[in-house]
Amino acid sequence: MKSRFLYFATLVLLSLHSNAQNKNILLEQTINDIVTAFKEKDSNSINSFISKEIGVTIIVRYGILDNYITLNSIDFNNPTPSYLPYLEPFSNSKLNFTTLPDFSCDTENWSKKGLYCDTLLIPTLLSNTITNLKYELSNDEYQKELKRACTLEKNSYRVILIDENDEDLIFHLTYINKKWTLTVIDRVTSDCSS
């Protein structure tokens, strides 16, 4: 009886390890595919990573407060915001799973270049943006949007690419239905205008 339990427990642990490994391989492949889609301005490819039900949320700054717009797709010919074209990254950096680079508005520089994903940090940019807009939204809309953001963020990772020209591409991927989905594009982290 004891040996059956140990055998079953070993199978369960191996299965969990294999699923986690597959999830990480899929994450790395998705990140590289999204960077390539931005590099090639391939709308079809980038849109294949966007959920039709959820869309992709673009964090923007029009004035002092950050704001957000949720779209069903990305159109490289019509960026959001319209005055800021999407980056065509000039980088061959390998993906690093480590702490993310920081941007300093004092020096207008990033702390490091390359492609990074932090799998230990839960991104909160979207929920923080919605919290800051609390008085701009109706109470029902605020509660609905905040719940949606928190649900997305708990299964998300933040990815930052700083290319060879110090240009950035920042996005969040969320694991939904056994697939990594592009849910947020950050257009504000390196915007020191406010």
Overall number of domains in the chain: 1
Range of the domain at 82: 2-186
Q: What is the reported pTM? A: 0.87
Name the CA radius of gyration of the chain, rounded. 19
**Bridge partners, 172 (sequence order):** 158, 184
Question: Can you tell me which residue has the tokens 């029902």?
Answer: 140
Supply the DSSP symbol for 11: H
Residue 75 lies in a domain: yes
Residue pLDDT, tens place only, 78-127: 999 998 999 888 888 899 999 999 999 999 999 999 999 999 999 999 99
What's the 3-state SS for 133-169? CHHHCCHHHHHHHHHHHHHHHCCEEEEEEECCCCCEE
In whole numbers, what is the pLDDT of the chain averaged over residues?
89
Chain centre distance of CA 97: 14
Residue 192 lies in a domain: no
Residue 194 lies in a domain: no
Q: What are phi and psi of 81, to 5 degrees?
A: -70, 160
Residue 145 lies in a domain: yes
Residue 193 lies in a domain: no
